Amino acid sequence: MAEAFSTALARIGREHASRAYAPPPILFIVSDGEPTDASGDTIRAVAEEIRAADVVIVSCLLTDEDLTESRRLYGSPRPGWPRGARLMFECASQLPQRSPFDAYLIEHRWTVDPDARLFTQINQSEVLTEFSKVILSPLEPSDRKPAQALVESPVRVFVTYSHQDAHYLADDSLLGYLSPLRDEGLEFFTDRDIATGELWDTKIRAAIDTTDIVLALVSQAFLSSRYCQSVEMEHFLEARRRVGTRILPIILRPCDWQAHEWLAETQARPREGRTIELDYDTKAKRDQAFLEVLQDLRQAAQAVRQGRRGA
């Protein structure tokens, strides 16, 4: 199983370099989920690399047992699933939200759980045939290629912050205020999205590699964090130089941000040296500051989409 994943990853890399396909490609994995050549953690890590390369992984579990409901996509493993089923589920890509594929599954009477993954059990040939047909069939009247119909790639926003500022991720704070942007195709990543048992560094680095926009919550704690600066921001600054990744700093409170060259040369919110906590001390004022961030993100997302269409 590890060898198959590694072979697929190498081929995808070659074809991506030669522009041999219109992304995103779809990789079907049919297996019992019991690798004989590597550990489950190794398999998960390679699958994460493949997904980070904008490949859609569809996991089809071979088993004689009735582990899943027919025509259902699950959002989490069920109690009692064996190790192989859990591994196949964890390798699968998440169903893209608000995609034509989502509507197509519902039209064909599939049950789709929240945060569903493209994982199904195939102990009946007709289920495999239908599942394959649904995935590979574009919606009418679209004339796009199947993979293009399957995924409308979201604009990915990576939120980098110090855990001392985690309250800004709450529903009644900044990230909650920005949540309507999800309905406009923006996808936010924070380290809170890492599930128990996942390799957190691998997960973060994979998210970093696919980021379109960086939302940096700047405080002295953030500036003092070695991981935020040496891993996350170092990569993002290189990506900005290389491919134009957009970085939006938000100055939370007074800190030594002007001593950092990348911050001194980047337009931040709030403007004119103000900070969220010192200058926006009422709910109405803070909502105004958050609204400006929301508008900046919307504008940056539009620029990302225009860049994709022009590529």
- Give per-residue pLDDT as tens, 200-256: 778 788 888 889 999 999 999 999 999 999 999 999 999 999 888 999 999 999 999
Q: Indicate whether 178 and 293 sit together in one domain.
A: yes
Choosing from 150, 177, 193, the residue where a domain stops is: 150
Q: Indicate whether 135 and 279 sit together in one domain.
A: no
- CATH number of the domain that residue 269 is part of: 3.40.50.10140
Q: Indicate whether 146 and 159 sit together in one domain.
A: no
pLDDT at 151: 45
**Mean predicted confidence (pLDDT) in 269-295:** 95
Q: What percent of the chain has pLDDT over 90?
A: 41
pLDDT at 139: 37
Structurally, the chain folds into a number of domains equal to 2
Choosing from 94, 126, 150, the residue where a domain stops is: 150
Q: Which residue has the higher pLDDT, 15 or 254?
A: 254
For residue 199, name the pLDDT band (cuts at 50, 70, 90).
Answer: confident
Q: Is the pLDDT of residue 127 over 50?
A: yes
Q: Indicate whether 144 and 65 sit together in one domain.
A: yes
For residue 114, name the pLDDT band (cuts at 50, 70, 90).
Answer: confident
Q: Indicate whether 73 and 209 sit together in one domain.
A: no
Q: Which residue has the higher pLDDT, 284 or 53?
A: 284
DSSP string, the chain: -HHHHHHHHHHHHHHHHTT-S-SPPEEEEEE-S--SSS-HHHHHHHHHHHHHTTPEEEEEE--SS--S-TTEE-SSPPTT--HHHHHHHHHSPBPPTT-HHHHHHHHTT-EE-TT-BSEEE-SSHHHHHHHHHHHHPPPTT--S-HHHHH--PPEEEEEE--GGGGGGGSTTSHHHHHGGGGGGTEEEE-GGGPPTTS-HHHHHHHHHHT-SEEEEEE-HHHHH-HIIIIIIIHHHHHHHHHH--EEEEEE-SS-SGGGSHHHHTS--BSSTT--HHHH--SHHHHHHHHHHHHHHHHHHHHHHHHHHHH-
Choosing from 150, 174, 204, the residue where a domain stops is: 150
Q: Indicate whether 159 and 182 sit together in one domain.
A: yes
Q: Indicate whether 218 and 235 sit together in one domain.
A: yes
Q: Indicate whether 31 and 167 sit together in one domain.
A: no
Q: Indicate whether 116 and 228 sit together in one domain.
A: no
pLDDT at 54: 78
pLDDT at 99: 59
| Domain limits for position 293 | 155-310
Q: Indicate whether 159 and 306 sit together in one domain.
A: yes
Q: Is the pLDDT of residue 103 over 90?
A: no
Q: Indicate whether 159 and 102 sit together in one domain.
A: no
Q: Is the pLDDT of residue 268 over 60?
A: yes
Chain mean pLDDT for the chain: 83
| Tens digits of residue pLDDT in 138-180 | 434 444 444 443 445 789 999 999 999 999 999 999 999 999 9
Q: Indicate whether 267 and 170 sit together in one domain.
A: yes
